[in-house]
Amino acid sequence: MVSFLWLQGGCCGGETVSLLNSEQPDFLTFLNKFGLNLIWYPFLSRQSGEEVLATFKFSGNSPPVKVGMRG
């Protein structure tokens, strides 16, 4: 399983709407099919502030994390 987090700057959020409206496969099926563990996504995650910063702190033993960026 690959863990990833999504970072974004100032943008409209249209990619989130498209992602959540996907049907074949739907978003959750897509994550499962490709073995993706979504760590954090600005519009979908409840954490903010210090909680998010703690999410970004990985130890040397943590599995690799892929980062998606939109900005």
pLDDT in tens, 3-36: 777 776 666 677 778 888 889 999 889 889 988 8
Q: Give the residue, 67 or 39, on which the prediction is more confident.
A: 39
Q: Report the pLDDT value the prediction gives residue 37, as an integer from 0 to 100.
A: 82
Predicted confidence band of residue 53 (pLDDT cuts 50, 70, 90): confident
3-state secondary structure the chain: CEEEEEEECCCCCHHHHHHHCCCCCCHHHHHHHCCEEEEECCCCCCCCCHHHHHHHCCCCCCCCEEEEEEC
Average pLDDT over residues 39-52: 75
* The model's pTM: 0.60
- Phi-psi region at 4: left, alpha or beta (left = phi > 0; alpha = psi -120 to 50): beta
